[in-house]
Amino acid sequence: MSLSKEAYTRIREAIVSGELVFGERLSEVQIAEALGMSKAPVRTAFFELRDKRLVTIVPQAGTYVFSPSREDVREMSTFRAVLETAALRLSMQAAGASVLATLHATIKSMEGALRSADWKQYEAADMAFHQAFIRNSGNSYLPQAYDLTASGIEALRVCLQRGAGDYREQSFAEHQLIVQHLEAGDLEKAAQALEAHILVINEAELDLPSKSRPRTKALSRSLDEYKRIFR
């Protein structure tokens, strides 16, 4: 793995996990030192993260973790709902039995994670559930389009889970309902349940800025804090 790819992966993981918070200013110099590399690969990673819409680069001001507003969340969730419901229909036509088997496996993994309070496992299984029909849709453009917002949605999901203790139980029940409809052969009800599951984030209580209530001051970190995050 190249240094720029390593930097990209480590910074992306820190954003998605919520270690680096929405709107905070990122120090190229200190992140490079914390990762044990020069500034060049970190700068390259910033550009790739910008292309994935995980950071914003402001000329003469700096690089910031993306800070979605309520309006952004609505647009992202609508985009995701359109793509995923289409992918669900296509994947069930193209590889229904295989997709359903994968969904069963991810449901089992999510259930085990809930019992053991292993939230990293839960998140991984949750992502695998949705990727099952995205990656098996038979349309190569769908995964590319989905990847534009996948990391941002994942970061929002972590933010949501921190603000609502029972969110995972609700989320698990919604995933189960989608599979139950598919098992019953009712693709339309499954698609409706999937859409409702995705759009529920629009009603969640999230600490996000809006056009009428923008983010005020960006957080900055010390070198020691970066070293803790990237240890």
Q: Same domain, yes or no, for 153 and 55?
A: no
Q: Which long-range contacts (CB under 8 A, 24 or more apart) does 71-76 make?
A: 71/210, 71/211, 73/156, 73/201, 73/202, 73/206, 73/208, 74/202, 76/149, 76/152, 76/153, 76/156
Identify the pLDDT of residue 208. 60
Over residues 121-148, mean pLDDT: 92
Q: Is the pLDDT of residue 204 over 80?
A: no
Domain CATH number, residue 48: 1.10.10.10
Beta bridge partners of 58: 62
Q: Is the pLDDT of residue 216 over 50?
A: no
Identify the pLDDT of residue 206. 63
Identify the pLDDT of residue 223. 92
Task: Kindly indicate the confidence band of residue 57, based on its pLDDT and cuts at 50, 70 and 90.
Answer: very high
pLDDT in tens, 7-51: 999 999 999 888 998 889 999 999 999 999 999 999 999 999 999
Q: Same domain, yes or no, for 107 and 135?
A: yes
Over residues 193-219, mean pLDDT: 70
Instruction: Give the sheet arrangement for strand 62-65, strand by strand.
Output: 25-26, 62-65, 55-58
Over residues 181-207, mean pLDDT: 90
Domain hosting 42: range is: 3-67+215-229
Domain CATH number, residue 140: 1.20.120.530
Number of domains within the chain? 2
Over residues 81-110, mean pLDDT: 97
Q: Same domain, yes or no, for 112 and 197?
A: yes
Q: Is the pLDDT of residue 164 over 60?
A: no
The answer to whether residue 210 sits within a structural domain is no
Over residues 52-61, mean pLDDT: 91
Higher pLDDT, 149 or 227: 227
The predicted model scores a pTM of 0.82
Q: Same domain, yes or no, for 86 and 47?
A: no
Which of 12, 15, 22, 23 minimizes the C-alpha distance to 45?
12
Q: Same domain, yes or no, for 199 and 223?
A: no
CA angle 216, 161, 121 (to 5 degrees): 130
